[in-house]
Amino acid sequence: MTIDATTLPSELLVTPQPLIGFCGLDTARQGVHKAIWEAFSGSLQRKAADRAAVQYKLLPPNYEFPVAKPKRASYEWYHPKGILKRNWMLKHLHVLPSVVVLFQDMEWNDLQWTEKQVQCAGTVQALKNALQERNTRLCLVLLQVVPPGEDLLAAERAASLTSACGITSKMLFILPHTEHLMGYTLRLESAFLDMAQSYYALMSKRIRNHRDQLSAAHTTLKIRHQFKLGFVAEMRQDFSTAQKHYFQAYTILVEIRSNDSNCVEFKTLAGFLNYKICRLMFKLKTPRDAITQFNIHVEKYKTRVGFKDLAFEHYAWLSTQNSVFAELFCEAIKNGLPALQTQHPGIYYHKSAEYVMKRRDAAQQAFAALLDSGEAAQATNNPNPLSLYTEFFGIRAVKTGDLVAEQQANVHLCEQERGYNHSAGIIALLSQAMAQFKIYKCLRFRKKLAIDMAEEYLQSGDHAKALTLYSLMLPDYRQEKWSTIFTDVLLKTLRCALLSASVADYIACSIEALSLRHQSEQKDRLLLLDNLWQVYQGMPPMPRTQLTEESMSLWTSALSSVKSPIPIDFDKVSDVVEMYATFEREQLSNDDVLQLQLIVRVLTDVPLRIRSFHVVLADAGNSQNNYKLEAQKYFSFPHLPQLRAQRGPVDQPKAFEKNMILEPGFYYQFFCSTEAQQFHENTQLRIVRVEALMGTDQIGALLTCSSNYTRQPFRHHTRSRDLDDNVTINPICYIAPTFHLVTQTLLGHGHANGMDGEPAAAPRMLVHEYYPVVINICNPFNVYLMNVGVHISVPGALRNSVFLTTDISPGRQKLHTQIQIDVGELSGQSSNTATYYIFSMAETEIKLQQRLSYTLDVDKGGEGSSGAVGARPSTAPNSSESTPDHDVKNIALSLAAISPVQIEYLDETRLRKSRVDTVTVRCYSDFKFCARFYTLNRKPLNQVYRGENFLLRANTEVLAVDEVEILDSFFICDHNLVQSNYSFKRKKYTNKYNNGDQLESVIVLRTNSTAQDWTTARDLDQRGKLEGNVTSSKFIRRPPKSHSEETSAPTPPAGISAYMSKSLVAKIPTTMIIINSNSAAMSSSLHAEDAKLAEDGAPTGPTMEGVRTTRVVYNKALEAVQGTGHCRGFIKGIYTLEENPSPAPVFGVFCIRWRRANAKEENESKFIISGLDIAEPPLNIYCTIEEKMFVKMPMAFKVVIKNPTTHVLHLIATLSISKADNFICSGHKQLDISIMAYGEKELVYNLYPLQVGWQELPVLSLEYNSKADPQKNDIHNALLDELVLRALPKRVFVLPPLKQQTTK
Amino acid sequence: MAFCVAVIGKDNAPMYLTTSDMEQELDLQYHVHAALDVVEEKCLIGKGAPESKELYLGLLYSTENHTIYGFVTNSRVKFIVVIDSSNVALRENEVRAIFRNLHILYTDAVCNPFYIPGESLTSKKFDRAVQKLMSGNA
């Protein structure tokens, strides 16, 4: 073969390195020698990067050095036959060393020194003889065991040795083979290298000398010399000089005129030189220059074809140039050169591949010409291709000018070319190029290369590989929408599929090729369709060119083993058939019939026969569950408007027949239907894809089209272009669940009237009321339901103010925030009711969550009965078949948010459904309550003094809209307080109060302890334990039978007002324990306390700050008071939601029992009354006056002064009558009193009223006796005055004399 | 003077392609298609400073016979012009002029109210003008 043109010789490709020859080393037998040799040349050493680039050669003992040619005296008549000899580079690279090193085992103190010296001298001499006429350096290395030292003997012997061998002392080296061999070798190496350098320098000089003798005619010699100089410079590692010389050689070469015969030589040499230049340029980091040089080079030689017959040789050369340059480029990139998208090795690989293609074309032409001339036969006689070559590069062993011989040689070359596998070469180059193009982000270019490669495979007959490549490229080009290119690729793919008998690919490509987008005639499409049906029927297709026998048999076997149906993804393969599916309705209940429409249109101009249409559905929540529906009936419409108007040519849809022909241009509307029952309730059905089966039973294509209706963001309105635009598509259908219970909620009607007849307008719910709610649960279906239950819960925001209960039996202890009412079983067409009560402490809107649930048996029989119409689980490969039962949980979970109905699957056969509704009740206020404290003088009270009586005035206003009966109202005071009635008149409630009616109670209270020593329940408990006489009886008090409170008429001026705020009741406590100490007060009480104290917060804001609402949270609705006596007790577990609870103690609970007019249920409203600070007074003054005074009837005015302190008090009491004429008074006018600690003193005056009407009483004033008690001063006296003012009445009403009195 | 002119839409689908040598059309299409690699790469780099974006992309790449130039409009419509490599007389300025004229022609064609943006250009007037431009008489 044309080795010159196609490949570069290997000696050119390596980097030239100085050659150093070693002799005298017997590596085979002597370990030391072997170690030394390995130290120099071994692979271990080569790793070190800093080692000099040297090539070592081990010379055998009788190595024959090439004989030097005799020097030419004159070059005048010398005309070489070629430019460069084939062996020159090899000789200098591998054969002729620059330095010959002779290794000898000689110790200085060797006993046989003299003999060895002689022997050594002989060897040296022999070498010298062999290297006659060469400048090769010779040096001697003595291998010694003893480390070198300053030794006189050594110096002397060395001198004698050098003289004996005839070498200078510089050429003698000692190599001690100790463990530091590596270091010694490195140093020796640099010494050798120096010698090699000087050798090559000398060699350059000699060549230069030759050159000087040349005349202008010696162009070829000049090139040779320049080349040699460059090569030697490269040996010396002098790259820039080398480049210069090569470049000179190149310029000279370019200038020579070439003809057909020397063209090959020139191109070969130019290729060599160019290679060297580019290589050095890359090495010297001037890649741009390299690329430019290469381009110029190719440009220059592109047109120099040489012999026309051997054009392939030229292309081979060009291809080689490119590929070699690409390799250089790659190498440079590996060494850190950055490449660009537009300038990278792939381009050159590609060009190289292109030239190989041209080479093949040229070779085929040449061979065709050869056949024509009938010379092919001759060529075969010449079997040895190498015989054509001379010792010069690029020169044939053909005498120039001998036309016959030349012709023969050309024929010979053609013959050789035939044997070359072009395709393999092209494919290899293309794959290299593809790799590069991929790196440099030229993906489209890479595709093009892949297409080229596929074409090459196709040409070389490897259809399967071509098909693979083509079909890989198809989607890419399809996506890019370059229809011309795509058509080309598609048709080639089709051809490959045909040739390789790949049924699936053939069918897929045929169908795709039916599209109008592919530029072909209708008759071509018809032909394609015919062939397609041939294949469907199990016959090989019959294209225009008949298939060969081989492919016929391939087809036969392929058709028998085809796996039908062949899936074809119509999302990708576009523009043949357009298919859309839509649900007829967006929502269905599960006993409806699910209907689907499928709209199909043929986009090409040939009719298609479709075997069947299917629509595949899936649950949105669980795409594993697939259902397949078959199209049954259809309409066809010639135009889109008719489709939209639903006006078909016939009224009844036609039944779908197998292999129906779809005419191009028509719109077909298919219908599928099934019963929705077989799907799970509460699921979203989604159309997964539409499938159309085409073909026969044996072989068919399954055209699948997924239904993701992504519309273009910018669509242009064209009236008939887009089916999608003009038809409403519902891709999702929701199967609404059936809830078998119907409920009706009646508010505000108790058992009495809630059930029967006409429910009147619901009464308004009031605060503190047990408000009944009746749920009427009805099952209108013919289904047997089990475990029907209602669960009602209070939302979190109202947790502490709204409660629920089902139990309003006396006691009413059980309040809950959520209740569950079990209704039990409901058979078909039956109903039941459930009642519960709401109790609210707050006036607000109450939204209760009402959750109905039941279980029922699942009927699984539906699926089988639907028959052919019914959906069957899809058998499509991508849907794993699973029975619904296994996945039901997933559905329930994923769809929980969609519907208010929740479906839970308890097991295979039972499911629970539940639905959450909201019941809204507005709660209105019942009473407006307000409580104030007064002194006995009816002055607003700021502070309570221990041991003094004061008044509580409780005002109640009815706010309820409906009529209310107040049964009772009473005050339960704290244990530390004592209450007594203001007057003994018993309070009577008239029944039925209306909105706006006002009520008032006045209660006298007294405390015996200050706020500091306020007794709490715990204190009492402990005390009781200590005393051991506490009988704690657990009982629940029964409702009182009588009233404990009486109204009192006086209305003191409003002072301190304590507004009640509705308090919040806390969590449900356990049953209450009321500790009842068996006190006399208790037993003697006429009224039993109300045990059912649902307490209410009525905290009074501190008066100074005006009205303030305090949210007090109590422990329990019913018994919050731990009773300790008649209407006394401890209020349990007060805690407030406020950060700083009011310091004032709670004085008690005001309780109103009431009920709606005509209703039975009693309710209680309770208001907490928070008290005032209790202070220790300096004195307690009690004043007693008769209840009624009559004129001229003497009466006693008794003042008791009590000393609550531990000190003795010294007082002066003075009585002064302001108006002399209203009373006659007797008693001490002024009195010094001394009261002992805790003692008391009674002052008694007799008063005789003289006048009727309001009369000022005599004023008693007290002051400290400053004589007896000098610490007391005026400030204390002022305090006393205030006390007196508060305690003593000022006026009294004197009645006229009684009748009998007057008569008397 | 120009060998082939192509207008390519923003999603890289061809909108118009004409060549003076119909035999080579497929090959040219491959070349123009491959040139989009370079266009995309160049546009990508241009993303950094959109203000200074030069519409003319210059030489995309050259093959043995063809030199391929590119131009991208602000709406990412690409113009590709293939010129015979042997035509050394053609200077870069002239190529720029071709693109400028092509841009004007394209704008005119697109301004047609009956033209649907994104569709291929079928206007005869446009075709005539481009043919004229290719032959160098524009």
Q: Quote ipTM for the complex.
A: 0.89
Is residue A236 a contact partner of residue A193, using CB atoms and an 8 Å limit?
no
Helix, strand, coil share of chain A (percent; to 5): 35, 25, 40
Put simply, the chain B residues between 79 and 138 with a CB less than 8 A from any chain A CB are 116-118
Measured between CB atoms, does B8 come within 8 Å of chain A? no
Measured between CB atoms, does A442 come within 8 Å of chain B? yes
Residue B104 is predicted with a pLDDT of: 92
Q: What is the pTM of this model?
A: 0.61
**In the predicted model, is pLDDT for residue B5 greater than 70?**
yes
Per residue in A437-476, pLDDT (tens digit) is: 888 888 888 888 888 899 888 888 888 888 888 888 888 8
Whether B14 and A716 lie within 8 Å, measured CB to CB: no
CA separation for the pair A225, A208 (Å, rounded): 8
Neighbour tally for A475: CB within 10 Å = 12
Nearest in space to A332 (alpha carbons), one of A348, A320, A317 = A348
Helix (H, G, I), strand (E, B) or coil at A1158: coil
**In the predicted model, is pLDDT for residue A892 greater than 70?**
no
CA separation for the pair A711, A668 (Å, rounded): 22
Of all residues in chain A, what percent carry a pLDDT higher than 90?
A: 0
**What distance in Å separates residue B135's CA from the closest CA in chain A?**
24
Whether B12 and A488 lie within 8 Å, measured CB to CB: no
Whether B33 and A341 lie within 8 Å, measured CB to CB: no
Burial of A653 (0-12, 13-18, 19+ CB in 10 A): middle
Residues 6+ apart with CB under 8 A from A357: A422, A426
Long-range contacts of A282-291 (CB under 8 A, 24+ apart): A282/A328, A282/A329, A282/A331, A282/A332, A282/A335, A282/A337, A283/A239, A284/A239, A284/A240, A284/A243, A285/A337, A287/A329, A287/A332, A287/A337, A290/A328, A290/A332, A291/A343
**What distance in Å separates residue B98's CA from the closest CA in chain A?**
23
Q: Tell me how many degrees the CA angle B102-B104-B105 measures, rounded to the nearest 5.
A: 65
Measured between CB atoms, does A1162 come within 8 Å of chain B? no
Measured between CB atoms, does A517 come within 8 Å of chain B? no
Residue A150 is predicted with a pLDDT of: 60
Residue A891 is predicted with a pLDDT of: 39
Interface test with B, best of A291, A482, A719, A722 (most B CBs within 10 A): A482
CA separation for the pair A753, A757 (Å, rounded): 8
Residue among B11, B37, B64 whose CB faces A443 most closely: B37
Residue A46 is predicted with a pLDDT of: 53
Residue A644 is predicted with a pLDDT of: 64
> CA quadruple A891, A892, A896, A901: dihedral positive or negative?
positive
Put simply, the chain A residues between 474 and 493 with a CB less than 8 A from any chain B CB are 480-485, 488
Whether B12 and A480 lie within 8 Å, measured CB to CB: yes
Residue A204 is predicted with a pLDDT of: 86
Mean pLDDT throughout A373-384? Answer: 53
**In the predicted model, is pLDDT for residue A234 greater than 80?**
yes
Task: Identify which has the larger pLDDT, A1261 or B5.
Answer: B5
**In the predicted model, is pLDDT for residue A211 greater than 80?**
no
Residue A1107 is predicted with a pLDDT of: 29
Is residue A339 a contact partner of residue A423, using CB atoms and an 8 Å limit?
no
**In the predicted model, is pLDDT for residue A219 greater than 70?**
yes
Beta bridge partners, A1004, equal A951, A980
Residue A1140 is predicted with a pLDDT of: 43
Measured between CB atoms, does B33 come within 8 Å of chain A? yes
Task: Identify which has the larger pLDDT, A989 or A320.
Answer: A320
Taking phi over 0 as left and psi of -120 to 50 as alpha, with beta for the rest, A7 belongs to beta
Interface test with A, best of B30, B44, B67, B115 (most A CBs within 10 A): B30
CA separation for the pair A740, A70 (Å, rounded): 120
Of chain B, the end-to-end C-alpha distance in Å amounts to: 11
Task: Identify which has the larger pLDDT, A746 or A5.
Answer: A746
Confidence of residue A1205 (pLDDT cuts 50, 70, 90): confident
H/E stretch holding A188 reads helix A181-212
Confidence of residue A85 (pLDDT cuts 50, 70, 90): confident
The secondary structure of A833-864, three-state, reads: EEEEEEEECCCCEEEEEEEEEEEEECCCCHHH
Is residue A917 a contact partner of residue A852, using CB atoms and an 8 Å limit?
yes
Lowest-confidence region among A385-399, A1067-1081, A1191-1205:
A1067-1081
Is residue A414 a contact partner of residue A420, using CB atoms and an 8 Å limit?
no
Per residue in A589-636, pLDDT (tens digit) is: 777 788 888 888 787 888 888 888 888 888 766 666 777 888 888 887
Neighbour tally for A1231: CB within 10 Å = 13
Is residue A973 a contact partner of residue A979, using CB atoms and an 8 Å limit?
yes
The secondary structure of A81-102, three-state, reads: CCCCECCHHHHHHHHCCCEEEE
Q: What residue of B is the nearest CA neighbor of A344?
A: B61
Q: What residue of B is the nearest CA neighbor of A444?
A: B34
Length of chain A: 1304
Per residue in B47-84, pLDDT (tens digit) is: 555 555 678 888 888 877 788 888 888 888 889 988 88
**In the predicted model, is pLDDT for residue A175 greater than 70?**
yes
**What distance in Å separates residue A192's CA from the closest CA in chain B?**
50
Long-range contacts of A1274-1277 (CB under 8 A, 24+ apart): A1276/A1178
Taking one residue from A and the other from B, the number of pairs with CB-CB distance under 8 angstroms is 55
Put simply, the chain A residues between 662 and 721 with a CB less than 8 A from any chain B CB are 714, 716, 718
CA separation for the pair A502, A871 (Å, rounded): 34
Is residue A191 a contact partner of residue A177, using CB atoms and an 8 Å limit?
no
Between the alpha carbon of residue A1281 and those of residues A388, A1095, A1244, A1262, the distances in Å are: 151, 40, 19, 7
Put simply, the chain A residues between 112 and 141 with a CB less than 8 A from any chain B CB are none
Mean pLDDT throughout A560-573? Answer: 78
Which residues of A fall within a CB distance of 8 Å from B59? 342
Per residue in A829-842, pLDDT (tens digit) is: 888 888 888 887 77
Measured between CB atoms, does B56 come within 8 Å of chain A? no
Q: What residue of A is the nearest CA neighbor of B27?
A: A485
Mean pLDDT throughout A498-516? Answer: 84
CA separation for the pair A1203, A1226 (Å, rounded): 25
Is residue A861 a contact partner of residue A677, using CB atoms and an 8 Å limit?
no
**In the predicted model, is pLDDT for residue A876 greater than 50?**
no
Neighbour tally for A1195: CB within 10 Å = 18
- Tokens 């390299």, residue located: A290
Measured between CB atoms, does B58 come within 8 Å of chain A? no
Amino acid, single-letter form, for residue A131: L
Mean pLDDT throughout A263-291? Answer: 86
Per residue in A1208-1255, pLDDT (tens digit) is: 888 888 887 766 677 888 888 888 888 888 888 888 888 888 888 888
Interface test with A, best of B38, B62, B115, B120 (most A CBs within 10 A): B38
CA separation for the pair B3, A264 (Å, rounded): 34
Nearest in space to A982 (alpha carbons), one of A947, A935, A945 = A935
Whether B33 and A481 lie within 8 Å, measured CB to CB: no
Phi, psi of A534 (to 5 degrees): -55, -45
Is residue A367 a contact partner of residue A417, using CB atoms and an 8 Å limit?
yes
Which residues of B fall within a CB distance of 8 Å from A447? 34
Per residue in B29-48, pLDDT (tens digit) is: 888 888 888 888 777 765 55
Residue A387 is predicted with a pLDDT of: 57
Is residue A347 a contact partner of residue A390, using CB atoms and an 8 Å limit?
no
Pairing of β A667-675 and β A593-602: antiparallel
- The full DSSP string for A1025-1081 is HHHT--------PPPPSS---------PPP-S-EE----EE-S--S---------HH
Interface test with A, best of B23, B37, B44 (most A CBs within 10 A): B37
> CA quadruple A409, A415, A416, A422: dihedral positive or negative?
positive
Most confident of A226-230, A862-866, A1059-1063, B19-23: A226-230
Phi, psi of A91 (to 5 degrees): -60, -50
**In the predicted model, is pLDDT for residue A863 greater than 70?**
no
What does the mean pLDDT of chain B come to? Answer: 82
Is residue A253 a contact partner of residue A300, using CB atoms and an 8 Å limit?
no
**In the predicted model, is pLDDT for residue B9 greater than 80?**
yes
Whether B30 and A485 lie within 8 Å, measured CB to CB: yes
Q: What residue of A is the nearest CA neighbor of B42?
A: A341
